[in-house]
Amino acid sequence: MDRIVVKGSGPLSGQIPIAGAKNTCLKLMCASLLSDEPLTLTNVPRLSDVATLSELLESLGVQIGRLDDGQTLAFSANSLSSHLAHYDIVRKLRASFNVLGPLLGRTGEAIVSLPGGCAIGARAVDFHLEGLKKMGATVSLEDGYVHASGDLKGAEIEFPFPSVGATENVMCAAVRAKGTTVIKNAAREPDTKALADCLIAMGADIEGAGTDTIVVRGVDRLHGATHRVIADRIEMGTYMCAPGIAGGEVECIGGTRDLVASLCDKMEEAGLEITETDAGLKVRHPGGRLKAVNVTTAPFPGFPTDLQAQFMAMMCFAEGTSVLEETIFENRFMHAPELLRMGANIEVHGNTAHVTGVDRLRGAQVMATDLRASVSLILAGLRADGETVVNRVYHLDRGYEHLARKLQGVGAKVERLSDG
């Protein structure tokens, strides 16, 4: 099994290219089911999650062409052979559940296994199903599979919480429904806005994406399109934290402040300098210790839950005590015990973590528990004495393309090793 070895390496310097957004790409791939004409995606990240969803789409009858070393994918759903998304594939990747809306909207029928994914707490699909029911779908749960069928009609749907997955599933179903669907308390994430932009390029009639109210007017069919995947704001935020820990200056190529504005605000509050450049976003550590900053995760445009672990790693070195409150998922502090093994001063009480900064950490053997926890331990190792060995790093392949290579490019001593 692969592991990543990190040695404290001093200040960082250089540029890191930001890949296409994983979460955006996966939802765009699902959207290919809505048309019998090809959807071509460019700037596709080369990740295991993309490969897993490709496997699922091919099992449904989608033909996939791969160009540019896998960074351009063409999806042709001209002849769907199945509307069954099997457990063996869906369990590996939660985003697979987002084939439900497109299948139902295109064919009037879908059977989709309940999802899997990282072990960071229960993420129920009730909002997805209730939204589809309001559009006229008949929905039942049998042996771990969601069975949905019916001719969809426009409806007014208001989510109790701005769920990203539910917003996207309902939006995809609504583009092929008869009449107008109004989605209230909709997710405002850049990924959701990017999905709407792609659907519009395919001929959908959508207004309000990026706000809390989305209006979708159903159309009879969608056509093909070519669409570029936006930059990955979570990857960008991760690398922005690297100089916050190790010191130095890093420019994230392809990034923009609007994608990570809440992170930028907190980093500047801590004492880091952030500058927009012609090529991306530059983060500079002015020297000395950062100041402790409190963070509460929230739906976009709030602080992303997917950057909480990385920010905690940075706060491990800040002067004072920071309070990190997790409001999106339970079990999202599983990286804290591993940071404690490295000498961090962290106390977790329910959904709140108190982090008191120390000057340095000590290298140790640590275990990755989920995707973002994995990378937080690598970041922490950048300023630890000795050697940090992060085990079970297969999680990283789900969300980071060439992570070790990118960090090496700015001077970090990071190496990926394999027992095989």
**In the chain, how long is the greatest CA-to-CA distance?**
63
pLDDT level of residue 117 (50, 70, 90 thresholds): very low
Top-confidence residue, 308 or 1: 308
Please give the average per-residue pLDDT across 187-205, as a whole number: 97
The H or E element spanning position 322 is: strand 321-325
Query: Which stretch of 7-16, 157-166, 278-287, 386-395 has the lowest confidence by average pLDDT?
Result: 386-395
Q: Is 282 annotated as a binding residue?
A: no
312 close to 353: Cβ distance less than 8 angstroms: yes
Q: Is 191 helix (H, G, I), strand (E, B) or coil?
A: helix
% the chain with pLDDT above 70: 98
pLDDT level of residue 119 (50, 70, 90 thresholds): very low
Q: Is 91 annotated as a binding residue?
A: no
Cβ-based neighbour number of residue 11 at 10 Å? 15
123 close to 95: Cβ distance less than 8 angstroms: no
**Burial class (CB within 10 angstroms; exposed 0-12, middle 13-18, buried 19+) of 116:** middle
Top-confidence residue, 395 or 253: 253
Q: Is 379 helix (H, G, I), strand (E, B) or coil?
A: helix
Where helices occur in 118-260 by DSSP H, the ranges are 126-134, 164-174, 190-201, 233-246
Sheet holding 225-228, edge to edge: 63-67, 72-76, 39-42, 225-228
Task: Please state the pTM of the whole predicted model.
Answer: 0.93
Q: Which of 420, 376, 371, 416 is nearest to 398 (CA)?
A: 371
Q: Is 22 annotated as a binding residue?
A: yes
The residue annotated as part of the active site, out of 25, 30, 118, 172, is 118
Please give the average per-residue pLDDT across 24-48, as a whole number: 97
Residue 392's pLDDT is what? 85
Q: Is 23 annotated as a binding residue?
A: yes
pLDDT level of residue 1 (50, 70, 90 thresholds): confident
Please give the average per-residue pLDDT across 288-305, as a whole number: 96
The answer on pLDDT for 393 being more than 90 is: no
Active site residue 25: no
141 close to 183: Cβ distance less than 8 angstroms: no
Residue 118's pLDDT is what? 43
Q: Which of 117, 379, 355 is nearest to 244 (CA)?
A: 379
Q: Is 328 annotated as a binding residue?
A: yes
pLDDT level of residue 121 (50, 70, 90 thresholds): very low
pLDDT level of residue 372 (50, 70, 90 thresholds): confident
Pair of tokens at residue 207 = 């207004």
> Taking the CA atoms of the chain, what radius of gyration do you get in angstroms?
21
What's the mean pLDDT when you consider all of the chain?
A: 94
In whole angstroms, what is the distance from residue 187 CA to residue 166 CA?
A: 9
Residue 420's pLDDT is what? 60
Strands (E) located in 254-312? 273-276, 280-284, 295-296
Q: Which domains does the chain have, with CATH numbers?
A: 3-19+231-417 (3.65.10.10), 22-228 (3.65.10.10)
